[in-house]
């Protein structure tokens, strides 16, 4: 017999969240200290030095010694170790060579566009660009044929170029918490894409039908946008296992939602649903279903009596107005930031939910309004 989940003591979750916030900050601090002491900083300096030397036309014999980069080579002084070169040592766009992977990192609000030198590094396999003021991704991204990961979260990106469809090896695309209003149909040409995150853009209303071609997708997150229905292309993603379409404007679910027979997790909270279709019972691998809303008046009894072990969570809508983190006293004000904090909270809650050996069934609703 299936389980109807629900939390009976929200203070437990609050305590869990506080603990994880503190542990995460400690982990970040230790990681920063580790990186400062590691060889990564030296690799970054060496790589930036090589790029600068190539740009100035300095021969390799001037900065290589027995095949190794000599960052203290005195001969470089004759070419002028300019302040620009010294500054480049501190740039966060380091390239890390590990297990034959080349990774580009860039962060910080001082960045309003990608560095010009990036277009010469077409061998890169991963981009990690976050917390910048960058608004556009240049068309030359089509040259990065080895790119497998494109992490562009928390920037100011307002559109994706059509050339993104040239990235045939791309497996992960994360453009969450930007300013996108649409997605180019050419994205459907990225046939090896496995993870797509478009959450927190607040303005996306539809996905192009061409995304139906993404048969390798297992994870789709389009939460915190303005979808009025589940896009048709999503219903044709045959390998989809995780779908988060929470915090949108859904009024109903399609009757053929059971086409997603590989789906395991479906997050629907913070929508305008009034009922759930019985087709949900026909989804053999669905193990976690989260809904919310006082408008939800009809739920098939079979969902709670499912023999598949489905965990059904019903949350009461109550938008978080202000959340104060006890250790930082950080106040979340904007809607986008509130959505981001709630999203992190739900991740922690779901992770804890899945780790439970038994599930409580004392209440049918959880008030999602708290102060940490």
pLDDT digits (tens, 9 = 90+) for 241-279: 999 999 999 999 999 999 999 999 999 999 999 999 999
pLDDT digits (tens, 9 = 90+) for 71-108: 654 445 555 444 443 333 344 444 444 444 589 999 99
Q: Which two tokens stand for residue 174?
A: 């994360």
What pLDDT, on a 0 to 100 scale, did the predictor assign at position 246? 95
Please enumerate in sequence order all residues whose Cβ is within 8 A of that of 65, keeping only pairs 6 or more positions apart, or say none. Answer: 73
C-alpha angle with apex 211: 205 to 216, nearest 5 degrees?
A: 130
Asked if residues 223 and 247 have their Cβ atoms less than 8 Å apart, the reply is yes
% of the chain surpassing 70 pLDDT: 70
Could you give the CA distance from residue 262 to residue 240 in angstroms, rounded to a whole number? 6
Asked if residues 189 and 214 have their Cβ atoms less than 8 Å apart, the reply is no
Q: Where are the domains of the chain?
A: 12-69, 103-315
Using DSSP's 3-state secondary structure scheme, residue 101 falls into strand
Q: Is the pLDDT of residue 165 over 80?
A: yes
Tell me the pairing of strands 68-69 and 64-65.
antiparallel
Fold of 103-315: 3.80.10
- Give the mean pLDDT of 147-164: 96
Could you give the CA distance from residue 12 to residue 367 in angstroms, rounded to a whole number? 13
Instruction: State the pTM of this model.
Output: 0.69
Asked if residues 292 and 273 have their Cβ atoms less than 8 Å apart, the reply is no
Distances in Å between the alpha carbon of 308 and those of 219, 264, 279, 360?
A: 21, 11, 14, 17
C-alpha angle with apex 81: 75 to 86, nearest 5 degrees?
A: 135
């Amino acid at each position: 017999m299936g389980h109807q989940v629900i939390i009976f003591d929200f203070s437990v979750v609050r305590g869990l969240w506080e603990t994880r916030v503190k542990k995460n900050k400690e982990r970040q601090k230790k990681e920063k200290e580790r990186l400062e002491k590691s060889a990564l900083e030296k690799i970054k300096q060496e790589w930036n030095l090589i790029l600068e030397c190539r740009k100035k036309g300095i021969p390799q014999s001037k900065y290589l010694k027995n095949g190794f980069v000599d960052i203290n080579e005195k001969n470089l002084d004759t070419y002028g170790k300019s302040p620009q070169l010294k500054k480049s040592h501190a740039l966060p766009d380091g390239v890390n060579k590990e297990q034959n992977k080349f990774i580009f990192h860039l962060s910080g609000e001082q960045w309003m566009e990608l560095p010009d030198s990036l277009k010469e590094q077409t061998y890169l396999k991963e981009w990690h660009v976050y917390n910048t003021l960058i608004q556009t991704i240049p068309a030359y991204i089509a040259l990065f044929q080895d790119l497998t990961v494109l992490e562009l979260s928390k920037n100011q990106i307002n559109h994706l170029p059509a050339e993104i469809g040239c990235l045939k090896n791309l497996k992960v695309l994360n453009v969450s918490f930007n300013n996108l209003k649409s997605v180019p149909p050419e994205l459907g040409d990225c046939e090896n894409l496995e993870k797509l995150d478009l959450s927190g853009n607040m303005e996306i209303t539809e996905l192009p039908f061409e995304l139906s071609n993404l048969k390798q997708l297992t994870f789709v997150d389009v939460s915190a946008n303005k979808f009025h229905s589940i896009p048709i292309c999503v219903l044709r993603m045959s390998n989809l296992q995780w779908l988060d379409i929470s915090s949108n404007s859904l009024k109903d679910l399609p009757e053929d939602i059971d086409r997603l027979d590989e789906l395991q997790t479906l997050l629907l909270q913070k929508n305008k649903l009034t009922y759930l279709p019985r087709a949900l019972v026909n989804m053999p691998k669905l193990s976690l279903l989260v809904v919310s809303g006082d408008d939800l008046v009809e739920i098939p009894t079979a969902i709670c009596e499912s023999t598949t072990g489905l965990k059904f969570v019903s949350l009461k809508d109550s938008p978080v107005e202000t959340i104060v983190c006890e250790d930082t006293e950080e106040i979340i004000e904007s809607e986008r930031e509130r959505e981001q904090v709630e999203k992190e909270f739900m991740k922690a809650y779901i992770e804890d939910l899945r780790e439970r050996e038994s599930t409580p069934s004392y209440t049918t609703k959880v008030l999602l309004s708290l102060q940490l």
